[in-house]
Structure 1
Amino acid sequence: MPQSPLVVLIAPDEFKESLRARDAAIAIARGVALGAERAGVRIECDLAPLSDGGAGFVDTLVAARNGETRRDRVTGPLGEPVEAQWGLLPPGEGEREATAVVELSAAAGMALVPRDRRDPTHTTTFGVGELIARSLDAGAGTVLLGIGNSATCDAGAGMAAALGVRFLDAQGAPIARPTGADLGRIARIDAGARDARLARTRVVVACDVDNPLFGPRGAAFVFAPQKGATPEQVRTLDDGLRALAQRCAEAGIDADPDEPGSGAAGGVGFGARAFLGATSARGAVIAFDALGFDRRLLRADLLITGEGRLDAQSLGGKAPFEAARRAAEAGALCVALVGATGEGWERATRARGGPFDEVVVIADPDASLAANIKRGGANLEAHAARIVERLVRAGRL
């Protein structure tokens, strides 16, 4: 009787600016197959690409729930039109209406802004609001909004403007498409013309950071420098975020800027609550539940996960870390393939009390960042093959 094949659950997140999670999973699977062939064993690959709300959120949930992918032309972060993808999921058990999946990154993400034009004072989430409006047109009763990888710091004002909320300057003139730089100009907020359908729509923000809206741990000081902001712009943006929160309070809009997650995605965490009546949930948990991840993990001999960069932030509930934590609880071996490591990554390893049995950096140390980004798929394939062959020959698989 032939021996049952080993099962490898392949569940990476995206490798930013290199590979979407789905493409990373396919590359790893190719490597696993090659490693199995070299080691002379049979291996079954179970692909479960992850997302905690950034790029790939739509792909993950559409695949898990047999939904459909749609595309619409909307306003990009720089005000130019972009083609953006979103998903529509059929009603689940006990549901009467479809669920839409919207990725902020599809309409306002970093990948849409050339490096030499990255400046969060001039970017907007207007297109995100347009995508939400399209989902309402399609009859969605729930909108799952993934807010990772934003290029913006407008607190979701652009998004809200696309859904009918009016932002007025000191002269009473409307600011039609607010950007980060416009927040300090807002003198009054009028939500009277907000899309009425939002009142009967459940909006859930997939959020995996706990930062407040403003202050030293807020959206501007922590995240805006990664989006191209200078120190002076960071201070201006923080002042604008404070001012917007004050204008919301004056307008009777109930939203707490100190609530954990308010600073996510340049303040979209706050804006979604203030202007859309949203609640929040961990993006990784949404994805794991949709994927039936725990059930699939029970039959796995090895979990291979990964992301572009593993650092202290990864330990705060990012999808690969959560996958590894669940693997440790299930008694499955777990290896992370990462593009790079940053400060605090050692705490993710078993030796330091973390859930990863091994962390392997796939980048070629002799190659440039651009070259490694371009070769992301090939690097993943090569390292996955070596890992599987080594683990089998060492008797660990």
Structure 2
Amino acid sequence: MTLRVVLASDSFKSSLTAARAAAAMAEGFRRVRPDVVTELLPQADGGEGTLDTVLAARPDATVRTTTVPLPDGPHTARWLMLADDTAVVELAECCGLPLLGTADPAGADSAPLGTVLREALRADARRIVVGLGGSASTDGGAGCLRELGLRTTDPHGDDVPPGGAGLLAVTGADAANLSPPPPDGVLLLCDVDAPLFGPRGAATVFAPQKGADPALVRILDGALRRWADVVGAAPDVPGAGAAGGIGYGLSSYWGATMTSGARYLTELSGLPDRVPGAALVVTGEGRHDEQSYTGKVTGHVVQLAQQHGVPAAVIAGTVTTDRPGVTMLSLTDLAGSQHEAMNHPEHHLRHAAEQLAAELPAF
């Protein structure tokens, strides 16, 4: 009987793509158990790597590019057009955290995403799928919508400044010149189910990762509350807080539908059909914590394996949570330091995979 191991890793942010991570894992398994069949199915959940996952699954996809302005200069953002005139846009390619950094969490906005969406409309996309993970902004999607024609104003009728903090001054939103959505609608791939504001909201939970200190987190949360008062749509819909509230903005003004990016992309890649009968399912990411089980792909892969009674393992840069019956391996622990793990991730991924391979049953 041939053992089969499914390698369904997410990317390791700013260190390794999902494809390279899965390849390093496969090499580790082959070194110890050359008799084992490894199936590489790199994953994403709407964040970094979404376009690569779609490209691997859809041979009809063609790569388009759009130049967007960023604080450090022009950036060429990729997006995809499928044969059925569906455009696939990845926020992380346009204005993600690795591109913008954490220097200005108050002023970071989502305008570059709007620039790419506008370009997809000009290319006659009939439907747009947007991966929303990995944002640097907490602006409720106001910047993105501004690029699509929405005008946000303060009590004096002046334009509201860019960024999440600018929304503290917003009192009006004029959609008269807003571009309409494509005829077949917009689907948002969310990697979290957070509401727009509050204890589980976009600012409180995620803005600290984007450089916001506690005082700024409170300001951004208040700004999102004011934005919701102006927009008038329900702020507590699961996913409204995705990507700093872009989920809220696009669902409110474009009627976009939100769905689990992890579920959508695992199904697109064929993962649910490959889990049953596997000896082991391995996933991975840069940081594995409780948030991994609130819409992230690693949590979804673990749950998928458990549903089919298949053993699961997680290899991550750092691990701060656990799950009964799931093997968790930290590259930081294996490497001896986070610095070493980040500098040589593939080496330590291979080492981790070797450990997992050594524990497989012999046939």
With structure 1 as the length reference, what TM-score do the two structures score?
0.85
Equivalents in 1 of 2:131, 2:115: separation in Å? 15
Percent identity, aligned pairs only, is 36
Which deviates the most, 256-265 or 277-286?
256-265
Indicate yes or no: 2:4 matched with 1:7. Answer: yes
Structure 1 segment 263-302 matched on structure 2, within 5 A? 263-298=241-276, 300-302=278-280
- Partners of 2:54 and 2:281 in 1: CA distance: 20
What is residue 221 of structure 2 aligned with on the other side? 238
Bigger Rg over Cα: 1
Q: For residue 142 of structure 2, what is the amino acid of its counterpart? A: A
How much does 1:365 deviate? 5.7
Tell me whether 1:205 sits opposite 2:194 in the alignment.
no
Is the 1:79–1:123 contact (alpha carbons within 8 Å) kept by the matching residues of 2?
A: no
Corresponding residue number in structure 1 for 2:173 = 189
Q: Name the aligned partner's letter for residue 223 of structure 1.
A: F
Shift of the 217–327 alpha-carbon distance from structure 1 to 2, 3 Å rule, reads closer
Q: Which runs of 5+ in 1 are unaligned?
A: 92-97, 250-254, 351-355
Q: Find the residue that maps to 2:33 and give its secondary structure.
A: helix
How far apart, in 2, do the equivalents of 1:292 and 1:282 lie? 16
Map of 1:141-220 to 2, 5 A cutoff?
141-175=126-160, 178-196=162-180, 198=181, 200-220=183-203
* 1:349 correspondence with 2:324: yes
Partner of 1:257, secondary structure, is coil
Partner Cα separation in structure 2 for residue 373 and residue 220 of structure 1: 27
CA gap of 1:54–1:126, structure 2 versus 1, over 3 A, is same
Amino acid at match of 2:27: R
Aligned residue in 1 for 2:46: 53
Q: CA deviation at 1:364?
A: 4.3
Partner Cα distance (1:134, 1:90) in 2: 17
1:16–1:199 Cα change, 3 Å: closer
Assess if the C-alpha contact under 8 Å between 2:281 and 2:313 holds in 1. Answer: yes
Residue type of the alignment partner of 2:224: L
SS at match of 1:12: coil
Aligned to 1:221: 204
The secondary structure found in structure 2 opposite 1:200 is coil
Q: In structure 2, what is the Cα distance between the partners aligned to 1:237 and 1:365?
A: 38
Name the amino acid aligned to 1:161.
R
> Please, what is the CA RMSD of the aligned residues?
2.0
Aligned partners of 1:311 and 1:341 also within 8 Å: yes
Evaluate the alpha carbon distance shift between residue 366 and residue 64 of structure 1 in structure 2; reply closer, same or farther with a 3 A threshold: closer
Letter in 2 for 1:236: I
Shift of 1:150: 1.0
Gaps of at least 5 residues in structure 2 are none
**What are the superposed Cα offsets for residues 131-181 of structure 1, whole Å, 9 maximum, x if unpaired?**
111222222222111111111111000100111111123332334x72112
Q: Which amino acid aligns with 1:180?
A: G
Q: 1:7 to 1:69 in 2, by over 3 A?
A: farther
Which runs of structure 2 are paired with 1:27-46 in the superposition (5 Å)?
27-37=24-34, 42-46=35-39
Per-residue CA shift, 1:162-208, capped at 9, x if unaligned? 11111123332334x72112111223111110113x15241111113
1:63 and 2:56 are equivalent in the alignment: yes
* Alpha carbons 2:335, 2:341 under 8 Å: kept: no
Distance of 1:373 and 1:86 partners within structure 2: 28
Shift in Å at residue 324 of structure 1?
2.1
Name the aligned partner's letter for residue 88 of structure 1: M
Kept in 2: contact 1:160–1:276 (CA 8 A): no
Q: CA deviation at 1:18?
A: 1.7
Deviation at 1:5, TM superposition (A): 4.3
User: Does the 8 A contact of 2:203 with 2:221 survive in 1?
Assistant: yes
CA contact (8 A) 1:79 1:124 kept: no
Residue 128 of structure 1 deviates from its aligned partner by 0.5
TM-score (norm 2): 0.93
